[in-house]
Each structure stands twice: as C-alpha cells, then as structure tokens.
Structure 1
Amino acid sequence: VETVEYKNINFTVWDVGGQDKIRPLWRHYYQNTQGIIFVVDSNDRERLDMAKEELDKMLNEDELRDAVVLVFANKQDLPKALKVKNITEALGLDKMRRQWFVQGTC
C-alpha cells in the first residue's frame, strides 16, 4: 500500500498482482475504489483474452460501478507488441459505459 499526493489529491495505491492464485482476493479491495489501473502485457497475445475476462469480471462488481479505468498497455517498446488501438479493441473498451483511457508504457 502506498499513498501518493499529486496536486493536492491523495491516491491510495494497492498493487494486488495478477497471478491466478491472487485474483480471488481482488474483491477485498473494491470497497471505496474510485479508479482502477489495469496493466496488460502488450507482447503477450495469448493472455489477452484472459485479461479481458478478468477485467470484465471485475467491472461487473457493484462496488466498482462508478470506477474509472486506466489501462497501461505495457511493453510497447518490444517490436511485436500490440498497438494501443489493438489492446483497446481486444479488451472491448469501446463498448464500456464508463470513463476509460489506455496509455502505452515501456
């Protein structure tokens, strides 16, 4: 847990990890969540469907109905990484009825 202050706004950040064994515990962090940062490996095409499933599951939870979503499309520096546009499409973000943004990262 880390608290970050930026321009008089305090963020409490929880890095809950994405391993299979940890995912069932994510729901314990949903209460009072206003935003989600979801990190996707842009170079791992095989796991992108699973990432979409997990994101959809999470966003269908009542506690997260108003949460905004920031997706970090990680590993954009690798030559075979999917572009941000492709990540957006694969995750079905265009169909979401909430605020979202995808940011490419290295």
Structure 2
Amino acid sequence: MGVLLSRIWSFFRPEGTKIVLVGLDNAGKSTILYQFVLNEAVQTSPTIGSNVEEFKWRNLHLVMWDLGGQESLRPTWSTYYAGSEFVILVIDSTDRGRLPISKSELYAILASEDLRKAKILIFANKQDVIGCMSVAEVGHKLNLTSIKDHPWHIQACCALTGEGLTQGLDALLTPSHDDPNHPVIQSRFLNVCVCSDCNRIVTFLVQSVLAPTSPRLTSYVPSFFHTLINFPLCIPLLPILTLVIVIFTNCV
C-alpha cells in the first residue's frame, strides 16, 4: 500500500526531497511535522497509515511522510523508503521502557537496501518534561557511535514549542563537501547546467537563425535573451520568441 501511495503521489505532485518520519506511537511525529508545515503546535491524533505534507525549507522543496508508529503499522514502514535518502527517527525521551524497541527499529532502518545511502536524524523529543532522558543518554542507549555507514545526528527537541527542530533539520539537510548526490548540491549543479545550456541555446539562435535572416538584430537580441534566461519560467519561450522576432523583422 505504501509503494502504491508513493507512486501515485510522485505522479501527480512535483518532485521534491523525500523525508520519512518514523518513530513509535506517541513519540510526537505528527506534532513535529506540523511544526515544520505550519510553524505551530496542532492537536493531533494517532496516525493511521501515513500523513504526507509538502513545504519549502531554505531552497529545498521537501516532501515529508509521517508514518504511523503503532506496532501493527511498523512492518509497513519499509514500503515508503524507496526514493528517500533522509530519515527522521523521533524518540520519546520520557519512555525508557520502549527505547530498546526504538533501537531495534533504528537498526532495521539502517539495514534497509532502499536506505543504504540515507542520512539519519534522531530527534530526542519531549526534553521539556522533567526526568526525561538526556540526549547523551538516548545516544548511548541507541549505541549511535557504532553507526559507521550512515551519517547521523541526534538533536534534543520539544515538539510542542518547536525548540530544536530547526537545528535538527538543518543538520540533516546540510550537505557534506564530498557528497555530490545531496539535493542541495544537485540543485546548485542543475542551476549551473541550465544556465550553461541556455547560453549555448542563445548563441545558436543568434548565429544560426537571426544572423542570416535579421542581421540588424544580432547586436541587440543576445543581451535581451541573456536577461530572459535569468527567469526560469521564460526559458521554454526562447525558440518561440526567436520565431516571432524573425517573422516581425521580415515583415517590416
């Protein structure tokens, strides 16, 4: 079911950076999700299946899947992993008794083939509650220092106030210098490629189309086109504009 939902969503919605948000029931996942989306705490109920929300973060378009944490739903988590390189695991820092279960789920995530390149963020939630486990205690009991094949970060947070959430997501999405597959680096690379390709297109249009037909415009149009390509939505219009200019100049 998760695979079907993911495919349907990806077909009808624009592509974004996919993040899966997991954790045991009552850990605070949905509250964290809507802090990111709405920047406020909202009344939530236990997630049955999944919630998915899109939002902008810095220069990224994020698609975050909040997966139900009840025992009967945890086996379905893996059906949502495809296409995701980021995982957020939310820990209830007041629930010492179930921390071993969270640990078991964490290492199942790390063993998933779909997440072999995933970067992991652990939110130690409910840090506002007196007597909760500290970040150091949570990290120690999860044996995080043994994780060698996945970048990870643990962050103290309070979902109700939003404290620590920004720092955690920034840590998750900050690219490593040696990670060309990170979406931030990919988006910068794409921008460079698009600008480079558009410059070549402009040169081709001027030399191959305008120069033979409308030599008077060859000194003016390039600067106009180069200004135009700074606006991505206008890029597909370049050939049409060229045709219009050629027709117009040959009719006057």
Question: Are positions 1:104 and 2:143 aligned together?
Answer: no
Alignment match of 1:8 (pick from 59, 65, 77): 59
Letter aligned with residue 94 of structure 2: N
Q: C-alpha distance in 1, partners of 2:58/2:157? A: 23
Q: Deviations over 1:45-93 (max 9, x none)?
A: 0000110001111210111111101111011111110100111111111
Unmatched runs of 5 consecutive residues or more in structure 2: 1-51, 159-252
Question: Are positions 1:92 and 2:143 aligned together?
Answer: yes
Letter aligned with residue 91 of structure 1: L
Unmatched runs of 5 consecutive residues or more in structure 1: none
Q: Give the equivalent residue in structure 2 for 1:24.
A: 75
Say what the alpha-carbon RMSD is for the aligned residues: 0.9
Q: Which has the larger radius of gyration?
A: 2
Q: C-alpha distance in 2, partners of 1:67/1:54? A: 15
TM-score normalised by length of structure 1: 0.95
Q: C-alpha distance in 1, partners of 2:152/2:68? A: 20
- Number of residue equivalences: 106
Q: Deviations over 1:22-67 (max 9, x none)?
A: 1011011110111001000001100001100011112101111111
Q: Give the equivalent residue in structure 1 for 2:125.
A: 74
Question: Are positions 1:55 and 2:106 aligned together?
Answer: yes
Letter aligned with residue 54 of structure 2: T
Question: Are positions 1:40 and 2:95 aligned together?
Answer: no
Letter aligned with residue 104 of structure 1: A
Q: C-alpha distance in 2, partners of 1:44/1:94? A: 21
Q: C-alpha distance in 2, partners of 1:7/1:77? A: 27
**Percentage of pairs with the same residue:** 39
- Structure 1 segments of 4+ aligned residues over 3 angstroms from their partners: none
Q: C-alpha distance in 2, partners of 1:27/1:7? A: 28
Query: Comparing both chains, which one has the higher relative contact order based on Cα–Cα distances under 8 Å and sequence gaps of 6 or more?
Result: 1
SS at match of 2:66: coil
